[in-house]
Chain A
């Protein structure tokens, strides 16, 4: 399906991903709470989705021709908000209101018709529900013979919730091949490394057994992401899942792989250090922070 709007090639997607990482650090620093690690890890995937793959109209979030996009692991809100802002759903400057009182960028995503942001169609954050929501939408698209695709992002930790598997089982049974799930496979849950605490391997085998087509990729290699998504959409007769191996905190070397960055925000010193590791891009930051003003 030919993308209707702007379509970046890999070099620009890489640069946009890096910009989104800068956005995330700044958003989290300003919010003083929230989830840093997984958003950084998902920046390459979100950049690819929003600037190369998904059909949407940022000026008309309810556009009938849109692909449906769900983020079941709602705590990664910061990367989604960055993507939405960069895509034009709301002003870039609004990213400074992440988690703030009276803002639309709620701590966990809320739909736009209650106090949430444009581009968000259901609340998430209580893990294990998005798979069913996506399955329902995919079923609805097929019922109406509509070509819209359904893409869902979930986390690997979330797959410990049994309810996730209800959705996975139904989608596989119903052969919903208009459905693509991407798992943020960083092997991390709040208390530590999954394979040390409660290993869910063999994960690919589980999805296969549930009737899915499975691909495993490097979640930071944009060409692999693009190819896997294309292949996923082309697969007929089965829903597709991409197990994307990612590194929590990717882009900031001293955060990488550290599960403690799941649910904390960087302080000023940490934010400065992180931004120094993420070279500025042609897209420009959404805000100039206090200490950056001296550099003009």
Chain B
């Protein structure tokens, strides 16, 4: 069973990586919409005050400015909560970033239900859908602090628009820092041929706990960490479908338009097998602690276990 070395917030790893990027590359600049400490950009702001823009409560302008900066050769990282990073500025992202292919990195903290007590207006559950729907956009949902750090470096190397989604709470750190992070290539964390669990972000740890429980019941689950939602690792999905015959997806996101739908699209078109999806079932969230919410909204290891049992009954 994979152990967690420690608990660390993915946003903290992002902030640390951003500072290192700032030191390595003078073209990296950062903008934040009045959430500098929350999004962990304060260390960058302190070390590179000239290269940091306090964008204020004005996300449209932040995105537009990022586009304008990227035209001059800068590599802008924008930061705010996921809910403000996507929905309210969608058209500006679409026209001035995605269509225009600007080298802007949209970094989104406090995503999903694990944002907690602030409640539904802030718990963004539709952002993966919004961003993966845009041509030219790369979408990454890292699963722990180690991976968030690697992903931050990876999007700086990438030429073009990127969306990086991370979270508020301290989370188990369990991936190997030495494993190379390759955009668009998933990581198989556990081998198995009875069923495949494909998860991203917060749900990868839940998937590993579920796999552990299933193993004790004699079910060997393959667990794939699908950190890059776009471009999706289609090959890994098709191989898993053919080799295991059943898939469960798991995400901290609505059931519509997220990882589940992305995987299902590949499966249906290439290697149809039964798919079950663990996701928020088309409802908004509410105030609560992350654990309370993951359980109430059925995006918990128990739901993955139940979905595996369900999908295996559907196997041919």
Contacts and interface: CB of A to CB of B under 8 A. Distances in A.
B53 interface: yes
14 contacts: A68-B72, A110-B99, A122-B102, A128-B60, A129-B64, A129-B92, A131-B61, A136-B69, A140-B68, A143-B51, A166-B58, A166-B60, A166-B61, A166-B64
A134 B64 CA distance: 8
Nearest to B50: A143
Given A163-B60, A166-B64, 16 more contacts: A110-B99, A111-B100, A126-B91, A128-B60, A129-B64, A132-B65, A132-B67, A132-B96, A133-B96, A135-B64, A136-B66, A137-B69, A137-B71, A162-B60, A163-B92, A166-B60
| B interface majority secondary structure | helix
A139 B69 contact: yes
Interface string A239-267: 00000000000000000000000000000
A68 B73 CA distance: 13
Given A113-B101, A124-B95, A166-B58, A68 B63 contact: no
Given A114-B99, A126-B91, A169 B65 contact: no
A103 interface: no
Interface string A129-168: 1111111111111011000000000000000001100110
Contacts of A124: 95
A114 B97 CA distance: 12
Most A C-beta atoms less than 10 A away, residue of B66, B74, B96: B96
Contact of B65 (A111, A126, A135, A144): A135
Chain A CB count within 10 A is highest, among B58, B76, B101, for B58
B221 interface: no
A114 B98 CA distance: 11
A172 B71 CA distance: 21
Nearest to B94: A126
Interface residues of B, number: 31
Contacts, number: 107
Contacts of A170: 55-56, 58, 61, 65
Contacts of B63: 132
Interface of B: 29, 50-51, 53, 55-56, 58, 60-69, 71-74, 76, 91-92, 94-96, 99-102
Nearest to B89: A163
A167 B68 CA distance: 11
A170 B51 CA distance: 16
Given A163-B60, A166-B61, A136 B50 contact: no
Contact of A163 (B50, B64, B94): B64
Contact of B96 (A113, A114, A122, A166): A122
A122 B71 contact: yes
Contacts of B68: 122, 132-140
A121 interface: yes
Nearest to A132: B64
Given A122-B96, A139-B53, A170-B58, A111 B69 contact: no
Contacts of B102: 122
B52 to A, nearest CB: 10
Contacts of B71: 68, 121-122, 133, 136-137, 140
Which residue of B29, B56, B73, B99 has the most chain A CB atoms within 10 A of its CB atom?
B99
A237 interface: no
B43 to A, nearest CB: 19
Contacts of B56: 170
The listed residue with most B CB atoms (<10 A of its CB), out of A134, A167, A170, is A170
Interface centre among B51, B68, B92, B95 (most CB of A within 10 A): B68
Contacts of B94: 126
A203 to B, nearest CB: 20
Given A122-B96, A124-B95, A133 B53 contact: no
A123 interface: yes
A125 interface: yes
A141 B95 contact: no
Contact of B99 (A123, A134, A139, A166): A123
A114 B100 contact: yes
Contacts of B69: 136-137, 139-140
A170 B96 CA distance: 18
A141 B64 contact: no
A104 B212 CA distance: 56
B72 A140 contact: yes
Closest 7 CB pairs of A and B: A132-B64, A136-B68, A136-B65, A166-B61, A140-B72, A137-B68, A133-B68
